[in-house]
Amino acid sequence: MSDVQSFEPVDKAMSPAMASSASLRGLKGLISATRRYITEEEGQAGRVVRRLSEDFAYIHLQDVWNPYRFLRQMEGSPPIKLGTEGFRPELVDDHNPARHYMAFVAMGYWLPYLLALAVLYLWEIAGYIRYGFQWSPADMKNGLLGVRHGNAVRHAGIEVLPGLMVKDLAADPGEVEGSTV
């Protein structure tokens, strides 16, 4: 598994937050961007979740009414790719675990908990068939954490998300605890 050292932006007109996230990698970069977005969006959870899902998971919720486009986005490559650095190894099955995690944070935030879980299982079953009957325990664990974290944000507020990331995603919580905005 190789770490992504930098990213290629899909959109050349990226926000300053996206540009400064480019210098960070892995979980530390995701946590730093999350904290920055919370500040920039003045703690408005829906806006922060929307930005995180667009930048790190390539999900544009406004396209949910166009299922073909929306599903292609969920499968696509996001503007910011941070790599695997700092993530618990059992949550990593490709070069960009933040994409899968943030997709399901969005599902957990916007959908009722049981419906978000159903979407996760349906998505993983579709992937199982699409990728030649290969099940990914890492994707399931990552997705379950994303759904739980999104649900926690809906109930407790966006400010809990960075702490949940450190607690549940970090290979070494002490190393990412001090991630700065």
Per-residue pLDDT reduced to its tens digit, 86-143: 999 999 999 999 999 999 999 999 999 999 999 999 988 988 888 788 888 999 999 9
> What percent of the chain shows pLDDT beyond 90?
62
Question: Contact, 24 vs 40, CB < 8 A?
Answer: no
C-alpha span between 146 and 131 (Å, rounded): 22
pLDDT at 5 over 50: no
Beta-carbon count within 10 A of 35 CB: 18
**Average pLDDT of the segment spanning 57-84:** 83
pLDDT at 172 over 60: yes
The pLDDT of residue 126: 86
- Which of 22-26, 60-64, 142-146 has the weakest average pLDDT? 22-26
**pTM reported for the whole predicted model:** 0.82
State the average pLDDT for the chain.
85
For residue 87, the cross-strand partners are 170
